[in-house]
């Protein structure tokens, strides 16, 4: 659904028709193994527990690893789709059969589903992409709020709220997947929350691997111990999270060096649907000042770049410091090879660098997550990170 990786909802224009209070939220920013079930929520007490299940993910690769997507089924009988499982959003979107502009995606036929319900609410969402190679102009989707059964990895959630795309701008046509489903921390009505309400433990694990490694995976209701080695280090969710998977960082460093601008408390969103880093301009430029004076802004959409002939010589290890549930400092690290996002199509001699500037946002995405096994533990209000299995 999203060809570039941060989807920030800028507006919800268009007509809204008699929307009931339970319609899905449109807020956005912008996977049988040895599975450990952990993080069972008290809200599941007395319910028949659902067993953890895993779904293999594919990597959308375009010069760099962009997004990871997997299979879902929608409706009764089920219709098959592929979607990005996005921890930075709360709603789900797949194309409608009525979407004539959805030229490369599978489309949902609501008339063929016996469990379909239409809220008769429509809206248009405008999105600024801002990340990925060659950030595009604003894109738009026209959405219709609906409800139906959604299944992932054999787990079925009836009466799940989501959106059907009835019109989309051309920037989405190159996507190899059909849509996106939100996995936000506080996502009432999402498919994951509906599964939790049925007794699934309120935790999931993500193994987002580089294309060269493969084997990416989403585990719902537990974690897959075959995908990591050593202990899982847990960091508490920021109590001011506003519904996002957000952690509190005390400082950022480049090759062990920091500055007064980078040594401040910040509230960082972890977004599996975003590949780049997104920081306010002052923070982005403070980090670039520690990497190379040759990195300069490119265009007007928050991207930066450097001559492709120079980027391979940059050895910038990026560290982000958090405090664990045990009260100890813990660094999450992005290695130097992630700095190069790839050449700009408009100027192939210039390579885009990893950090994008966008006012008001602190976001870490796939460029960090693919170097760890990540645990998204809603039940215990924490996130966990472990080294990948050798």
| Per-residue model confidence as pLDDT tens for the chain (390 residues) | 443 333 433 222 233 333 333 444 433 433 322 233 343 333 333 345 789 999 999 988 776 778 899 999 999 999 999 999 999 988 899 999 999 999 989 999 999 999 999 999 999 988 655 445 655 557 889 999 999 999 999 999 999 999 999 999 888 888 899 999 999 998 777 899 999 999 999 999 999 998 888 899 999 999 999 999 999 999 999 988 888 999 999 999 999 999 999 999 999 999 998 888 999 999 999 999 999 999 999 988 889 999 999 999 999 999 999 999 999 999 999 999 999 999 998 899 999 999 999 888 899 999 999 999 999 999 999 999 999 987
Q: Left (φ > 0), alpha (ψ -120 to 50) or beta: where does 96 sit?
A: beta
Residue 385: what pLDDT?
98
The enclosing H or E element of 160 equals strand 155-168
pLDDT at 68: 93
- Structure token digits, residue 158: 């009836």
Q: Residue 228 in contact with residue 64, Cβ under 8 Å? A: no
Residues with Cβ within 8 Å of 242's Cβ and at least 6 positions away in sequence, in order, are: none
CA distance 133 to 141: 21
Maximum CA pair distance of the chain? Answer: 62
Q: Which CATH number fits domain 227-388: 3.40.920.10, 3.40.50.720, 3.40.50.11540, 2.40.70.10?
A: 2.40.70.10
Cα four-point dihedral sign 91, 95, 96, 98: positive
- Look up residue 89 and give its DSSP letter: B
Tally of CB atoms within 10 A around 74:
30
- Per-domain boundaries in the chain: 8-42+50-220, 227-388
Under CATH, to which class is 8-42+50-220 assigned? mainly beta
CA 199, distance to chain mean position in Å, is: 24
Tokens of 378: 């809603």
Q: In the sheet that 382-388 helps form, which strands lie side by side, from edge to edge?
A: 53-56, 217-220, 203-207, 373-377, 382-388, 228-236
CB 22 within 8 A of CB 190: no
pLDDT at 128: 58
Report the distance separating Cα 141 and Cα 126, nearest Å: 7
Among the listed residues 31, 160, 179, the one whose alpha carbon sits nearest the alpha carbon of residue 99: 179
How far is the C-alpha of 320 from the C-alpha of 198, rounded, in Å? 36
Can 8-42+50-220 and 227-388 be said to share one CATH topology?
yes
Q: Give me the residues paired with residue 388 across strands.
A: 228
pTM confidence score: 0.88
pLDDT of the residue at 211? 83
């Amino acid at each position: 659904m999203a060809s570039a990786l941060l989807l920030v909802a800028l507006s919800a224009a268009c007509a809204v028709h008699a929307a009931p209070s339970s319609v899905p939220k449109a807020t956005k920013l912008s996977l049988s193994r040895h599975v450990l079930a952990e993080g069972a929520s008290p809200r599941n007490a007395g319910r028949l527990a659902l067993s953890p299940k895993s779904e293999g993910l594919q990597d959308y690769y375009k010069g760099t690893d962009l997004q990871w997507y997997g299979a879902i089924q929608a409706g009764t009988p089920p219709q098959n789709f592929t979607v990005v499982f996005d921890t930075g959003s709360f709603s789900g979107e797949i194309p409608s059969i009525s979407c004539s502009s959805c030229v490369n995606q599978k489309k949902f036929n609501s008339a063929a589903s016996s469990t379909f319900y239409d809220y008769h609410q429509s809206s248009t969402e405008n999105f600024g992409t801002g990340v990925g190679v060659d950030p595009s102009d604003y894109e738009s989707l026209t959405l219709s709020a609906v409800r139906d059964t959604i299944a992932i990895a054999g787990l079925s959630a009836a009466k799940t709220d989501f959106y059907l795309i009835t019109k989309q701008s051309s920037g989405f046509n190159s996507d190899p997947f059909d849509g996106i489903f939100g996995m936000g921390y506080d996502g009432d009505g999402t498919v994951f929350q509906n599964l939790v309400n049925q007794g699934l433990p309120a935790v999931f694990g993500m193994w987002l691997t580089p294309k060269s490694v493969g084997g990416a995976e989403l585990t719902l209701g537990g974690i897959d111990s075959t995908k990591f080695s050593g202990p899982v280090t847990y960091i508490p969710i920021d109590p001011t999270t506003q519904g996002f998977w957000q952690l509190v960082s005390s400082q950022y460093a480049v090759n062990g060096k920091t500055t007064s601008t980078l040594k401040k408390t910040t509230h960082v969103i972890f977004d599996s649907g975003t590949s780049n880093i997104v920081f306010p301009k002052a923070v982005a430029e403070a980090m670039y000042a520690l990497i190379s004076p040759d990195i300069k802004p490119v265009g007007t959409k928050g991207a930066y770049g450097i001559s492709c002939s120079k980027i391979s010589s940059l050895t910038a290890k990026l560290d982000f410091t958090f405090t664990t549930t045990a009260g100890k400092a813990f660094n999450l690290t992005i290695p130097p090879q992630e700095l190069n996002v790839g050449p700009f199509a408009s100027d192939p001699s210039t390579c885009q660098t990893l950090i994008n500037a966008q006012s008001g946002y602190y976001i870490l995405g796939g460029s960090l997550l693919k170097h760890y096994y990540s645990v998204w533990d809603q039940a215990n209000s924490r996130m966990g990170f472990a080294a990948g299995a050798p």
